[in-house]
Chain A
């Protein structure tokens, strides 16, 4: 069983869905990695709103920089205070 399947199993979810869910990885509060990003809705150094699949994710913080945006993957650096969905 893969690492992801283990997580799903512990969370009492169905085995890994056909379409993999999007993932968000936080590296402390200095960087974040976001998958399946369709587009950037808005961008400033205090708030970045990403469109991930059919939802919007808002990242609030300070000195936010889009470090990398490539093939749906986004890396954001800076002081991240919060991540909100919707």
Chain B
């Protein structure tokens, strides 16, 4: 019988159920539990009718059944023991598996490109940069480890003369590319232009052709590099080459993101974004999103961009 005193497995078993039992003649209950080979611990009598006792968690169902069978009332059942918090965590294996799967997914999928965001004044050249990235094999689902971010910045900059600065950043599973447009020298009309080419992505709002032949209509969507007006004219059955003189206005959507640790900085974000624009602003909107660490102010402008050729 000494073994019960020194049975380390039982002594160190860390998970108990505590019952608060109401009823008279509580000694009968203790004896009944002992007779059914249920070890009882820390029996405390609070009053003639109220008693508290602990049993091993594995015996709780049996103990509860005996208590009820003997017509005692169970007021409260509690869990206790050194390792109860850890054990109860593992007993909810569904939740544990769910949490483990979530953590694994977050870590694993964090290494893939799930979206590419373009910001900055050079955003109008987004489609060109997108095309370049596809050629380099960087697209949705590409691993971040398959390319060097610093190297990518240099490559994008070299691939496009319209950009003066490019910055790439990994934000979670997003690749954020900041494009800064190079300053353009304003040129006078030379009278020598063979065609009018769009320098933005957008929708044609208006087109006026003084010399040349229009390739697009109002409402057409155009991309950077699309020829809007060609330098030829049809006279009778002949096609003759001429210099283009035309103007067009294109409605473009431009976005810029401003980050801050503070809330309520919509006005500041708007002012900061406006400073980089040289087109006429038709509409402006600021959306604020909190990503868990900082506030992201997304400023969206609808602009009217004028293209002249002549």
Instruction: State the interface size on chain B (CB cutoff 8 A).
Output: 20
Q: Determine the distance from Cα of A69 to Cα of B34 in the docked complex, in whole angstroms.
A: 7
| A-B contact list, 30 entries, CB within 8 Å | A35-B1, A35-B2, A39-B27, A39-B34, A39-B35, A40-B30, A40-B31, A42-B27, A43-B43, A44-B45, A45-B45, A65-B42, A65-B44, A66-B40, A66-B42, A66-B43, A67-B42, A67-B43, A68-B39, A68-B40, A68-B41, A69-B33, A70-B10, A70-B39, A70-B40, A71-B4, A71-B34, A72-B4, A72-B34, A73-B4
The residue on A at minimum CB distance from B7 is: A70
Report A3 CB to chain B, min CB distance, Å.
Answer: 12
Q: Determine the distance from Cα of A41 to Cα of B2 in the docked complex, in whole angstroms.
A: 23
Given known contacts A40-B30, A43-B30, what 15 new A-B pairs fall within 8 Å (CB)? Answer: A33-B5, A39-B27, A39-B35, A41-B27, A43-B26, A45-B45, A66-B43, A68-B39, A69-B30, A69-B34, A69-B40, A70-B39, A71-B39, A72-B4, A72-B34
A-B CB pair tally, cutoff 8 Å: 58
Q: Does residue B37 face the partner (Cβ distance < 8 Å to A)?
A: yes
Interface residues of A (CB under 8 A from B): 33, 35-36, 39-45, 65-73, 75
Interface residues of B (CB under 8 A from A): 1-2, 4-5, 10, 26-27, 30-31, 33-35, 37, 39-45
